[in-house]
């Protein structure tokens, strides 16, 4: 004997706008669930996990709308890889529904992606890049070129939208801050460009190549092969004036200003008897502290990255990613991860929460790490059979871009 079917609401049969919440009249009148205020319904749903929320959304249109609310998925997203939320809860991708970000996060964790080579160049370079909205900025020899991303976020437009020049030799590093590009080159110069305009400034900075630069709060810090780090003013009437010269006694490979704008960290070649990681006062140029005591000779720091004012990441020739918390200890890092194939690590990037991406020196290997685990999570080999370091990598919530000696690769994690 068949079971009597319950009446279906018009919204369950179809509707003109699926994005708007169905009216209460569309719910079965006999169900006590819809008598509850929406705040209580959301509270009940907040105890569900990913699988339960997904199944709940398959019941009817109203539950699908309710179970897709960002409020319910934020708690889950904060525990996922690269979902757009920092440790402090800041949302870095407010335009993308949180539920969709959680789905894509599973692809990051399991390494499900589509790989594509989007740019190639004939001679081998040491490129650097930055992502900014719908544009990717890439250094190629002495120029920096701005490429517009395709609507799907994977490919690039064939021709650059803008080219920023000024160096006589290759660009070593550059940063993109507040619609300004600051670059250091092999000619020892620093060049400042305003992206939306013709304004540019160029000044002689170091006796040898400028290996690294950072720019925040109207100040530029630069590091060079000439064994100095310098602080430069960009205030009116003092543009390009050197405020401090720090004698590092070693080649400077990486540099970063603290988010508090009170200090900066240098990563050096570790050819002397001092730590390759040192923090300097931004106002006076005086040494504040050294990080670590167990670096081997030659364990130079190639990249350093501030996650918060007290947390920073470093990597380099000794094959380790190190995570430093200067609130607890400057003598020893709080966590470390070793490159499994004993390769130097050229670059690192973090999502500000659980994920780290690293680029190694052999065969274009990009690795994804979960800070809560000790072993590498996923590996991607981008340059077989020829060997090339990953000189720079950047990622959004959906794509990862890796710059190698002769090509730019993209990993699209929206493709499952």
Q: For 130, list phi and psi in degrees, rounded to 5.
A: -140, 145
Mean per-residue pLDDT, 325-344: 94
Query: pLDDT tens for residues 257-279?
Result: 999 999 999 999 998 888 999 99
Residues 6+ apart with CB under 8 A from 133: none
**Is 129's pLDDT higher than 70?**
yes
| Banded model confidence at residue 12, pLDDT cuts 50, 70, 90 | very low
Tokens of 306: 């501030």
3-state secondary structure of 72: helix
User: Are residues 70 and 98 in contact, defined by beta-carbon separation less than 8 angstroms?
Assistant: yes
pLDDT at 153: 64
Report which of residues 386 and 56 the model is more confident about: 56
pLDDT at 31: 64
**Which parts of 219-354 are beta strand (E)?**
219-224, 228-233, 241-247, 252-257, 263-268, 277-281, 287-291, 301-306, 311-316, 320-325, 335-338, 345-350
Mean per-residue pLDDT, 179-203: 93
Tokens of 6: 């319950």
| Banded model confidence at residue 1, pLDDT cuts 50, 70, 90 | very low
pLDDT at 54: 82
């Amino acid at each position: 004997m068949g079971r009597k079917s319950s009446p279906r609401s018009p919204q369950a049969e179809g509707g003109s706008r699926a994005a708007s919440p169905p009216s209460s009249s569309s719910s079965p009148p006999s169900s006590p669930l819809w008598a509850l205020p929406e705040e209580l319904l959301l509270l009940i749903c907040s105890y569900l996990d990913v699988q339960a929320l997904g199944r709940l959304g398959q019941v009817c249109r109203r539950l699908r709308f309710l179970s897709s609310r960002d409020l319910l998925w934020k708690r889950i997203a904060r525990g996922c890889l690269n979902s757009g939320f920092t440790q402090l809860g800041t949302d870095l991708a407010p335009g993308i529904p949180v539920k969709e970000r959680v789905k894509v996060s599973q692809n990051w964790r399991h390494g499900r992606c589509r790989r594509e080579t989007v740019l190639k160049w004939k001679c081998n370079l040491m490129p650097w890049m930055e992502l900014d909205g719908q544009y990717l900025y890439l250094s190629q020899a002495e120029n920096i070129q701005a490429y517009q991303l395709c609507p799907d976020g994977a490919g690039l437009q064939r021709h650059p939208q803008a080219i920023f020049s000024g160096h006589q030799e290759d660009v070593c590093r550059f940063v993109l801050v507040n619609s300004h590009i600051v670059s250091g080159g092999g000619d020892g110069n620093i060049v400042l460009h305003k992206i939306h305009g013709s304004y540019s400034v160029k000044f002689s900075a170091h006796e040898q190549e400028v290996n690294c630069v950072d720019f925040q709060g109207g100040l530029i810090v630069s590091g060079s092969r000439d064994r100095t780090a310098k602080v430069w003013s960009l205030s009116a009437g003092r543009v390009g004036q050197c405020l401090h010269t720090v004698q590092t006694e070693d080649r400077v490979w990486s540099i970063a200003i603290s988010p508090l704008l009170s200090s900066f960290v240098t990563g050096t070649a570790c050819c002397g008897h001092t730590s390759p990681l040192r923090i300097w006062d931004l106002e006076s140029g005086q040494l504040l502290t050294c990080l670590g005591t167990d670096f081997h000779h030659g364990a130079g720091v190639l990249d350093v990255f501030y996650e918060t004012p007290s947390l920073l990441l470093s990597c380099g020739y000794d094959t380790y990613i190190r995570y430093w918390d200067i609130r607890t200890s400057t003598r020893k890092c709080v966590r470390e991860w070793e490159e499994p194939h004993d390769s130097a690590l050229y670059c690192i990037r973090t999502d500000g929460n659980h994920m780290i991406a690293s680029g190694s020196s052999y065969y274009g290997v990009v690795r994804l790490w979960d800070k809560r685990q000790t072993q590498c999570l996923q590996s991607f080999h981008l340059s077989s059979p020829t060997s090339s370091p990953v000189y720079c990598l950047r990622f959004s919530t959906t794509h990862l871009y890796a710059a190698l000696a002769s090509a730019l690769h993209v990993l699209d994690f929206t493709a499952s």
